Each structure stands twice: as C-alpha cells, then as structure tokens.
Structure 1
C-alpha cells in the first residue's frame, strides 16, 4: 500500500484540516495512506531549504510559505505542476481563486510550483463588546473629542489603544506579535511602511525604507511597545500564534494579525466568541489601507518518488469541500467559494471582508536573497525594541546591509 509523507508547520488548525482531508483522500483512494508530520516553521524552513531535504525522497508533499519559494526554486527543490494542471486541473481552476493567490508560486517563466492552501492576509480585528458599549463611547468622546469608532488611521489607532489600556483589569489597547522570529515583527514594519506610502526599494533595487516615511513607521511601532505601553508585558515573547491566542483570551481591544486568528477568536476556549469584528488595517495620514500578502501552499518536493499520487492529494485538497474543511478547522480557506459561503461567513466574520482586503496587498520581494534580507529586518526590529539602537541608526545600518546583499547578488552594479 503506497504511503504519502506530508510535512507541514505546527498549527492546531492544520492538524485538524489535514487529518480530515487525509481521511477523505483515503476513502477516495483506498490504496493510499498518509503520514502527517508537523514541525515548527523555523525548523521546516531549515529542513527543506538550508539542509536541502526538498531534494531527498523523504517527503512527497510539503506545506511551505510563499516567501521560501524563490530559494526552493533556485535549488531545484520543487516540482513544476503545469503539465498536471493542464491534464487534470482542480475544479474551477484558475477562476475559483483570487488572482492574488495565484502569483507567488510562479516563476518568471510561468512555471507553477504549488497550489494555495492557507491564506493570509493580515487584517484588523477589534472587540465589538468594547467599541459598542455606550459607556465606553461616552468616555472616549469626552477624553478625545471625537466618537469612538474603528480607527481609520494609525493616529486614531493610538488614541483608541491608549484609551483601552487598563493593566489593572488585564486589558491592553493593542496586541502585537513582537517576538524577534523574523515573522510578524518584520511584516509589521512592512505594513506600517506601505500604509504610509513608503517602499522597500526604488526601481534600481536601492533600499529606500530608511527615508523619512520609514523612520516614522518604525518609530510608531516602537513607541506602541516602549513608550505608549499599550501592549501586554509579554509582547516581545509573543509570536503570531501566541498573540492570536492572547487576543482571544481577552487581553487586548485591538490587533492586526493574520486573518486566521479571527477564527481562533471564534472557537473555544476563546473568551470573546461572538465579539470579534474585522476591518481594514489602519493607514497613515497620507497612505493607503494596505495588507501583506503571503500564504501557505502545498507542493511536491523534487525528490518525491510518488509525484502522481502526491498531485492527486493536492488536487483533492483544492476542491470546494476540502477547502471548506480548512476554513472550518481554524485555518483560512483560499477558494472564492469558501470566502462567499454563508455558513463560513456566519461562523467566521472575517470572510465577509477578505475579498476587499485582497484588493490592496503587497508582498515581500520575490527573490532568492529575500530570506537573508528578512533576517536583516529581524535584527533591525530587535535592536530597536530592546533599546540597543535608535530608530535612525537601526534603519541606516539595515539599509547598508541590504544594499550590500543586493550588490553581491548583482542587482546593483
């Protein structure tokens, strides 16, 4: 009996969805077994990319982040799916997905190397029980001179965060995933930069993130944690998952995070079931609403000896029924049919806004050097939130490091 080995990142939602999807696949393909293995995302990247285990025969299916694909493609670590997609496409391919979920797994020649499985993007979340309370509304208006409402701008966000910060009640205004893990701490800087109209690079790949907009963005982020004290004391220990769990436990009034954590807020043991609401991420005074678009994809590593059966599982997971299982298990479905499903929307309200968010998204640069650049930003954030460097010095040093990486890679003459 053939056995497919599937490697994915640790997350309760994935554990539930893959278990259900594997069981369904076994029923449809009675001669197939699946071995499901979960490891931490940092170890997943190191295993597949750094150690090049994507080239081995150990794994038949892998769940990877789109950020990692340029490096994986550079080492020849993923199987091109174009022929299989042409011969046996998933139902509604490609029109059943938002175009924003079909680009990051392609190469410059049009090769497609994975299918979307779990979506970002980052969204703004807030507690309706606090925002809609007449007592809170009256107190806020008296203190700030305008009505309490979902913040449109980052300035309004800071006002609301200060207002709801009440350490004696175990409540803080804002939840941030501040752990220096190269994940949310980096992406949060990007969101603050882009939502103020800033850019990472100019047209010639020279860094531009250390300009006045970049300084404003990073200073605002650092101030929320260090000066305004509107975040929980363990903020620098929280990764995206821990911060999502803490928000669901009622520790904060607002959070921007991956939209899947809105689902966490609606599932036991959340203390705010039925109270979470979603909206667009705030913007700078002169910037656009902006979110970050990266997502998790299912692909077939180059070393797999069972590529046809592995593709059958990818295709199975891409059906409307299986994508709906991803959503109802606590992940975030990727099909338009799931996003528009009334049952899914009624249980997880963020699906009513996800299409709108996808209309204005940015992604990190799709180059093999990005992981090295990401680590520069990770260290930059660490130096600032620990007080080891000023915002200005951290940005200047990071820009110099990134320019060096780009010169060494030949992007800058």
Structure 2
C-alpha cells in the first residue's frame, strides 16, 4: 500500500505531535493513506533529505528542514516552491498570524519554500527558585560582593555558575551542548561573538571570523566550558536535546539553549523543575547589547513528491492555530502569535509571552550555499579550542583561510541583520 513519507527531526514532542495531527487530518478528510514517519538525528536528516537527494527524488514527501539548510535545499531544487499553492489556498490568517521574523528565511528568489513549524530563539534559561532563595542570595553576596540576579555580563555568568556548582547534589552551575554536530557550538560561538559587538560578516559582506571580537568570544567560551567547577561534566556528550533534558531533570542552575527546552521543562512528565524556571536575555560584554539567535524549523514538501497536493493540504492543517497550540502542549514551540498570547499556554508555561521579546533581539545566520560547510568549520574550530591549548587567534586564522577558499565565487543572499 502506498504511503506518504515524512522525515521528522528526532524529538519526542515532534514525533507525538505529527502522529496526532496526521490521525486527526485523516479522520477529518477521510484520508485512507497511511503516513510513515521516520525520526532522524540532525546529521542523518540533512543527509537523507538534501545530500542524498531524498526530497528531490521523491523518497520523502514532507520533511522538517531547519532554516540553516533551507538555502541549500532550495538551491538544490530539493524542496517545492509553495508560492502559488499559498496564493491559491493560504494557511489560516497567512501571513499575519506569524511574527515577521518567522517568515523571511524561507523566502528566496521570489519563492516560499516552507511553512513555520517549531521555533524558540536562544535564551538564558535559569532556575528562578535558586535565584530567589533568600539564603542563596545572602551567601552569594557574602562571597562575591554584589546582589544575586540573572547575569548581565559574561563575567557574572561565570561567577554565578561557580556559585551554584554542587556536584554532591547532582547540581551544576551551567550545562552546555558541546557534542560536535555542526550546530550547538556554532550557535554558541555566534552568540558569544554578537554579545561582544562582533559580526560574522565584514564590511564587504563576506564571512570573516578572524577578528578581535571573535578571539575574545572563543577565549571565553573554551575557558567556560572547560571549567570543572562550573559546568555539567557531561556537556561534551550532550546535544541540545540532552542538555535540555539534563536541565529539566534539575541538574543545572543555568543553560544557554533554545526557548523550546525551557518550555519543554514545564510540560514533560519527567521534569523535576516545573514551576521553578524562567527565561531571560543572554548576558553581554559591558558596553555591548544582548543578542539572540533565530533558527527555526519548517515544514517542507519534497520537489519529487508524488503526493504534493495531499502534502500541502496536510501542511495547512498542521499549521492551524489549534495544531500550533497542540505542538506547544506536547513540548514543542508553536510559531503563531496566537499561541504566544494564549491564556491557557501562559498558565501552563508562565514565560511563554516572552517569545516576542526574544524575537526583537534575534539575529540570523548568513544565507549562502556554503553555510553548512562554514558551520562545520566553525564547529571544528570550537571543538579544537576546547580540546587543545592552541591560541584562539591561530585557530581562527587557520579556519578563516579555509572559509576564504570555500567562498570563492559565492555570494550572500540579501543582507543579514547583525
């Protein structure tokens, strides 16, 4: 029997939501076709959908593609341009139901290559029960000479992480996601760079990571994640999902991670910190502004799919206000403004309305066909910095040479706000 095949980003809330949505969609529309959903880790997902031409050749009808990859996917003609389908039969309240920052990365060369699925910019997630505890506040002031509050600078972040690091209680000051998958450490590096006034681009709009702000960013980050008196010892093995779960299990006072993991920690059964968490903006160096990073997930349709109309009808169903809210209650992050402001959601997750604030400070990564390869190089240089004593300046200079070689003859799509 013929099936519609969906490549899903491996994450329990995504998998359960998709299954429930397909069942409801099939029932409502009397669809007899089954959906085969395959949950995949990041690297495997990119490989099967784009590198191995799975979307282009019709192996996958629908796939979760993140905005880091969408330029690549569109460039390879892997994903269907939804422009005319949206024109004929738009999703409910399109485009006004979404914040503008969730609609621009999938718009390329007059095409629209996906619909927003899951989001939640990077932020500082913290244990408000610890930060608000009178004894903790008193002890902190005695030790450091200033009031305990969420860190405004990276120096404060480091001191607070040291203060809350209590291995004997299975509590660590901070948890990072240092597993080298081409994503988490790249994003961490970008955040360190931006919050020091740096940019990924030089004045000629070329990717350039060999500069003073980048050196400072890498210097701080390598020292921070290697600090055994402040950081969860399993950070090296953790991707963002594992780091998010460790936080939910009460193993860290702070985490720099996607908003979705703060939300997840309020709704999943195994969470030990429900009602004890909050989020805020990231620290920055004195004299510089905070920043966030907006990378979001899209629903896309394979250009080689034999079920394009059915796939698009499902995407419209999967992005209704009700479906968006379901994703949130399952532990993902809805993308619609209606979900962000929903009273029931904000009772369940008291900081949910702060998504709008994060989007106002959210920067994006350069859109260029070489970005996935540049990301691999940045991932590699951060890993090397963590594992060796080679100076940050030398490491970044070597990496910049490789980026320059990759860059020959490529241009950036549009301008990047940072």
TM-score (normalised: structure 2): 0.95
Equivalence for 2:335: 334
RMSD, aligned α-carbons: 1.5
Matched, 1:403 2:404: yes
Aligned partner of residue 85 in structure 1, secondary structure: helix
Matches of residues 207-246 of structure 1 in structure 2 within 5 Å? 207-227=207-227, 229-246=229-246
Confirm or deny that 1:295 pairs with 2:332. Answer: no
CA distance in 2, matches of 1:293, 1:232: 25
Secondary structure of the residue aligned to 1:54 is coil
Greater alpha carbon shift after TM alignment, 134-143 vs 53-62: 53-62
The secondary structure found in structure 1 opposite 2:111 is: coil
Are 1:29 and 2:35 matched, yes or no? no
Task: Give matches, 1:140-159, under 5 Å.
Answer: 140-159=140-159
1:127 aligns with 2:101: no
Does residue 255 of structure 2 align to residue 255 of structure 1? Answer: yes
- Helix, strand or coil for the counterpart of 1:38? strand
Name the CA distance, whole Å, in 2 between partners of 1:70 and 1:145. 49
Q: SS at 1:353's partner residue? A: helix
Contact 1:281 1:290 (8 Å CA) reproduced = yes
Task: Give 3-state SS (helix, strand or coil) of 1:268's partner.
Answer: coil
CA separation in 1, counterparts of 2:297 and 2:401?
31
1:118 correspondence with 2:102: no
Q: 2:416 matched to which residue of 1? A: none
How do 1:40-55 and structure 2 match up within 5 A? 40-55=41-56
Whole-angstrom CA distance in 1 between matches of 2:106 and 2:167: 44
* Aligned equivalents of 1:227, 1:387: Cα separation in 2: 14
Q: Secondary structure at the match of 2:202?
A: coil
Tell me how far 1:408 sits from its aligned partner. Answer: 4.9
Aligned positions of 1:138-217 closer than 5 A: 138-217=138-217
Q: What is the distance in 2 between the residues matched to 1:167 and 1:396?
A: 37
Gaps of 5+ in 1: none
* Paired position in structure 2 for 1:306: 307
Give the conservation status (yes or no) of the 8 Å contact 2:55–2:61.
Answer: no
Q: Deviations over 1:315-342 (max 9, x none)?
A: 0011000000111111100000001101
Deviates more, 1:382-391 or 1:242-251: 382-391
Q: What secondary structure, in the 3-state scheme, does the structure 2 residue paired with 1:254 have? A: strand
1:208, distance to aligned residue in structure 2 (A): 3.5
Say which is worse superposed, 98-107 or 397-406, in terms of deviation: 397-406
Deviates more, 1:279-288 or 1:375-384: 279-288
2-side partners of 1:227 and 1:325: how far apart? 39
**Aligned partners of 2:186 and 2:378 also within 8 Å:** yes
Equivalence for 2:15: 15
- Tell me how far apart the structure 2 counterparts of residues 136 and 231 of structure 1 sit (CA, whole Å): 19
Q: Which runs of 5+ in 2 are unaligned?
A: 413-418
CA contact (8 A) 2:263 2:352 kept: no
Number of residue pairs matched by the alignment: 410
Q: What TM-score comes out, normalization by structure 1 length?
A: 0.96
